Structure 1
């Protein structure tokens, strides 16, 4: 109960805030769709990912990356409220109460995770239109991967938000950190064929394993059209560690800020 009530209260507060600010849905969902339509459509006829099957279009290759981009943008939009809540004194008042600090951070993270997973889940309706053989049996695994990635990205957002004093600084640092993570995740271009410095950075990027796990879950009932991916168990294990590590950093960032 000591953990549940603070976490549930902050989670519910984020849900209410989202209902009152529905423009966040437009920004978090439509911007990746524009990326997918313009970049995927523009490169579809002239670019085939290295190590991919001969029948794989760039629109299909880019599809899992677009889903992760929805998670990323939602994490940015959701965790920016932490900067505003700190400036207004709301979070300081919460931490004065006898509540567990990890529970408060968990409530914040679960709020943005719920929104990110729901919005990314809406992207799954496009799977049949780009020849992605998503099966009902693997849907729980796909949702699990989405939840883990959403929680990891939300926790990273909270880690940065607790250190920032302005929304402008938060946006600058988030774009500097998270967009390169996404570009080097195998979402935009594959590991196969990349120059060795880029390949090394991609292999060191935990988000790359999350994107790989998502590709496995989407193509479980068919032939995986992308080569040079890490094994599924390794990809899922690294994603779990990424999620746990990011949440730990978020808790430490909040505690350090309040000392």
Structure 2
């Protein structure tokens, strides 16, 4: 009960700070919108061999990958705000409060999840005029998968930020991790186009399972094995990330 109350208090404070400067939500949406408007139309000839011959089918393949992209990158770079709080002494002052150390992490991560879901809804709505159609139940399950990804990546980012305590170290580290994750996830183009050896390597990338699962949900194939495999893998990794980052918070706030 105390954990839930403390998490809600931290979530409220962090959300209030975000709402005071909502431009960050739209900054986070701007690049995906550019991909949606300027890159997706180029995919129609490329996706034709997979049967995506209409705009609706192209966006049904591309939009899920784009949403996973937002979840990954939106989470991985949340640590910069925490470093600013460390420098301002916010985390140091938390030592004298009775708030749960786990709540310090969960409140921030839940704020990040809500921000991600707002951006995901905006992208989905913008894709509707291009012919995207998806059942509400499938869409909600896809959003659950995206929320788990955002929870995992933001927790990892906060944990790493507490370790390095420097934007100069965090930026290249996150970029080094994000680039191969992006290329091996089939986010922009399905891995069906990749050679066999690259697909085998991508099988070890958990985000490729999440992308496949999200695409299956947007296609209305909720019974596809990729959906439940992606959910299972993401749940386990999110739990591990939260536990590890919570321990990092506990060490930093004693």
Q: TM-score, normalised by structure 1?
A: 0.84
Give the Cα separation in 1 of the matches to 2:197 and 2:48: 18
Q: CA deviation at 1:110?
A: 0.9
Tell me the equivalent position of 2:143. 143
Pair 1:98–1:155, CA change in 2 (3 A): same
What do residues 210-249 of structure 1 show as CA deviations (whole Å, max 9, x unaligned)?
2222112212179x9xxxx853221221121122122122
Asked whether the 8 Å contact 1:156–1:250 carries over to 2, the reply is yes
Tell me the equivalent position of 1:119. 119
List runs of 5+ in structure 2 lacking aligned partners: none
Pair 1:35–1:54, CA change in 2 (3 A): closer
Pair 1:192–1:165, CA change in 2 (3 A): same
Tell me the equivalent position of 1:47. 46
Give the Cα separation in 2 of the matches to 1:208 and 1:120: 18
Give the Cα separation in 2 of the matches to 1:119 and 1:65: 14
Tell me the equivalent position of 2:248. 253
Pair 1:140–1:48, CA change in 2 (3 A): closer
Tell me the equivalent position of 2:230. 235
Give the Cα separation in 2 of the matches to 1:163 and 1:36: 36
Moved more, 96-105 or 69-78: 69-78
SS of alignment partner, residue 3 of structure 1: helix
Runs of 4+, deviation exceeding 6 Å: none
1:106-255 alignment to 2 at 5 Å?
Answer: 106-220=106-220, 231-255=226-250
Q: CA deviation at 1:134?
A: 0.6
Q: CA deviation at 1:197?
A: 3.9
Moved more, 138-147 or 57-66: 57-66
SS of alignment partner, residue 98 of structure 1: coil
Q: CA deviation at 1:203?
A: 0.9
Tell me the equivalent position of 1:87. 87
Moved more, 78-87 or 132-141: 132-141
Give the Cα separation in 2 of the matches to 1:200 and 1:78: 31
Asked whether the 8 Å contact 1:160–1:174 carries over to 2, the reply is no
Tell me the equivalent position of 2:5. 5
What do residues 32-87 of structure 1 show as CA deviations (whole Å, max 9, x unaligned)?
2113333323x33542276x224266554221111122223432454421111111
